[in-house]
Amino acid sequence: MINPASRTKSIELSQIRKMFEVANPNAINLGIGEPDFNVPENIKNAMKNSIDENDTHYTSNKGLIELREEIVKKFKNENGIKTNTENIIVTVGASEALFMCAQAFIEKGDDVILPNPSFLSYEACVNIAGGTIVPVDCKMENEFKLKADDVAEKITKNTKAIILNSPSNPTGAVMEKEDIKAIADLSMDNNFLIISDEIYEKIIYDKKHYSPAKYSDNVITLNGFSKTYAMTGLRIGYLTANEFYTEELLKIHQYNIACANTTSQRGAYEALTGPQDEVEKMVNEFKNRRNLIVSRLNEMGYETVNAEGAFYVFPKIDDENFVSKAAEAGVITVPGVAFGSNGKGHVRMSYANSYENIEKAMDILEERVVNG
């Protein structure tokens, strides 16, 4: 057998995907962060028409020009970000965009600040690139929100980047405007890069989303269609940054992917230009589910922050065997420690499942795990 490259030795397969692969098909899955809604019909039809019209050839490396034009409008109108079509790259999901950022800008000797806990792909991408993780505690008493003062304490001459994710996976925390702006100011004062993963920006309850790129030029903004339009398997995302950053990112994208899926790009164009009614319905339903799962977990004695966005809760559960007990009882969850050391003593549960299934899952946990 040939030994793998040394850069993969510190990487483990995703614990989330492990849970997904081994889950009992009859279990209620609160482990995967995937909307249980279907792609809206207008988006489906746009993609069907694309195939029927034989629109299945390469696009520009950066993506369809008409899609990039709509993304420019979206950034201006919704995020206050000034950009142009040359500074947009359409990617194979936000995951590719994240990997591109790490490969283009992070190398051995670079420190990358990460919220702790945070989405496990961030640490993996930084490790593959050779960077060093510098964690910043996101405490439950602060509703798991990343605070600018805590970030400032971690900045050194080796700081190359920080990865932000608001709303947060795994906690559902939404950062405050003053912290976003303060970190943006820090990025300019100390010349480091902000990689802002905004994939959950539309799934927010009773709060407002703020983009750091509105306040700093040292930002790469990542987004996509997976969560907002339930287009997870269609793998379509995008990013924007200034001209210098975009040119470096394009080098990675060009030689790795060439271009994003043409049919998915047609669907993405329709998603941005078509009606948004289904998005509003989906977010309202997520809010109802959030209220249900938070109240039930708190009633069971599992202290749970009332998550302000995304579709995750991160209850405090000190039982190290909870995840396996829950799985045996028929409910799939993810151990919090998969998202960083501060995740220890917590469990991530996704409420991207039907209201009825969440009710059943809570009943199972109460009867067979808490009182079993």
What is the fold of 41-273?
A: Aspartate Aminotransferase; domain 2 (3.40.640)
The bridge status of strand 193-197 relative to strand 219-224 is: parallel
Nearest to 337 by CA among 199, 170, 181: 170
Nearest to 182 by CA among 134, 226, 148, 135: 148
Domain ranges of the chain: 6-39+277-370, 41-273
Q: Note the pLDDT tens digit of each residue in 222-260.
A: 999 999 999 999 999 999 999 999 999 999 999 999 999
Q: Note the pLDDT tens digit of each residue in 179-231.
A: 999 999 999 999 999 999 999 999 999 899 999 999 999 999 999 999 999 99
Among 24-33, 243-252, 361-370, which stretch is predicted with the lowest mean pLDDT? Answer: 24-33
- pLDDT for position 22: 55
Q: Which two tokens stand for residue 73?
A: 């409008």
Nearest to 315 by CA among 329, 324, 302: 302
Cβ neighbours of residue 138 closer than 8 Å, sequence gap 6 or more? 115, 116, 117, 118, 144, 145, 146, 168, 171, 173, 342
- pLDDT for position 19: 58
- pLDDT for position 11: 81
Q: What is the mean pLDDT of residues 272-284?
A: 97
Q: Which two tokens stand for residue 34?
A: 């995937």
User: Residue 217 is which amino acid?
Assistant: D
* CA dihedral angle for residue 200, residue 205, residue 207, residue 210, rounded to 10 degrees: 10
> Using N-to-C axis directions, what is the helix angle for 93-105 and 120-129, rounded to 10°?
30
Mean of per-residue pLDDT scores for the chain:
95
- pLDDT for position 15: 63
For residue 346, name the pLDDT band (cuts at 50, 70, 90). Answer: very high
Cα three-residue angle 212-213-218, rounded to 5 degrees = 100
- Looking at domain 6-39+277-370, its CATH superfamily turns out to be Aspartate Aminotransferase, domain 1 (3.90.1150.10)
Q: Which two tokens stand for residue 22?
A: 């081994």
Task: Tell whether the model's pLDDT for residue 5 goes beyond 90.
Answer: no
Q: Note the pLDDT tens digit of each residue in 149-185.
A: 999 999 999 999 999 999 999 999 999 999 999 999 9
Q: What are phi and psi of 296, to 5 degrees?
A: -65, -45
